[in-house]
């Protein structure tokens, strides 16, 4: 007859916990490594509005690359505006300067009538290069709806974390 020692159960629990921590740490390191390679602090962004229809829809996951001064008219960029927490995904419709003059941009959502000057910080007429987080190099449709659901329904995030934790505790192996 085999008997189980209490330390065996603790060892299994510790192993499962360490495996979960390892998985999360690896995912975080991969995301940060991609950010370093792409020269972008947030290389993955979710489209939150319909302003870029039909090119991009709400819930699309986009991948960014920071091209430096290689941003041209027609490129889709993600930019941050002082005083706003949410990044904006819009297309460059005008480009000014370059060389000795500072590079500046004017953007517009494909589904919007007017340009983005109303979205910029008060007194700001154009975006500077420092406002642009990166250019869109890829899009995965609908994958970002998970993030949108977690933000719209905070209880869903709590439920998912609870279920993952519960499954890690009761999993045998």
User: Which is catalytic among the residues 60, 116, 131, 135?
Assistant: 116
In the predicted structure, residue 4 carries a pLDDT above the cut 70 = no
Contact (CB, 8 A) for 106 and 115 = yes
Residues 6 or more apart whose Cβ sits within 8 Å of residue 71: 77, 92, 95, 103, 105, 129, 132, 135
Task: Name which residue leads in pLDDT, 126 or 7.
Answer: 126
Catalytic residue status for 90: yes
When the pLDDT of each residue in the chain is averaged and rounded to a whole number, the result is 87
Catalytic residue status for 5: no
State mean pLDDT over 126-151. 91
Q: What is the pTM of this model?
A: 0.77
Catalytic residue status for 116: yes
User: Which is catalytic among the residues 51, 60, 131, 135?
Assistant: 51
User: How confident is the model over 14-55, as pLDDT tens digits?
Assistant: 887 888 788 889 988 998 888 888 888 889 999 999 999 999
User: Which is catalytic among the residues 33, 41, 85, 90?
Assistant: 90
Task: Name which residue leads in pLDDT, 12 or 28.
Answer: 28
- Whole-number pLDDT of residue 135: 94
3-state SS assignment for residue 85? coil
Question: Confidence band (pLDDT; 50, 70, 90) for 79?
Answer: very high
- Whole-number pLDDT of residue 139: 95
Alpha-helical segments (H) within 39-152: 145-152
- Whole-number pLDDT of residue 98: 73
**Where do the domains of the chain lie, and which CATH numbers do they carry?**
44-145 (2.10.109)
User: How confident is the model over 88-104, as pLDDT tens digits?
Assistant: 999 999 998 877 778 89
Residue 74's nearest CA partner among 94, 89, 60 is: 94
- Whole-number pLDDT of residue 20: 78
State mean pLDDT over 68-76. 86
CB atoms within 10 A of CB 132: 24
- Looking up tokens 């000057």 gives 117
């Amino acid at each position: 007859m085999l008997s189980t020692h209490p330390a065996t159960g603790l060892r299994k629990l510790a192993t499962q916990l360490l495996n979960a921590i390892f998985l999360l740490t690896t995912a975080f390191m991969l995301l940060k490594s991609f950010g370093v390679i792409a020269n972008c602090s947030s290389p993955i962004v979710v489209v939150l509005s319909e302003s870029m229809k039909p090119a991009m829809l709400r819930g699309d996951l986009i991948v960014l690359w920071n091209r430096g001064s290689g941003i041209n008219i027609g490129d889709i960029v993600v930019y941050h505006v002082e005083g706003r927490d949410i990044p904006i995904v819009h297309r460059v419709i005008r480009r000014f300067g370059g060389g000795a003059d500072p590079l500046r941009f004017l953007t517009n959502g494909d589904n919007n009538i007017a340009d983005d000057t109303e979205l910029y910080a008060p007194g700001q007429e154009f975006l500077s290069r420092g406002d642009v987080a990166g250019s869109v190099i890829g899009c995965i449709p609908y994958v970002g709806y998970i993030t949108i659901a977690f933000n719209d329904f905070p209880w869903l995030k709590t439920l998912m974390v609870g279920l993952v934790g519960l499954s890690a505790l009761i999993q045998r192996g």
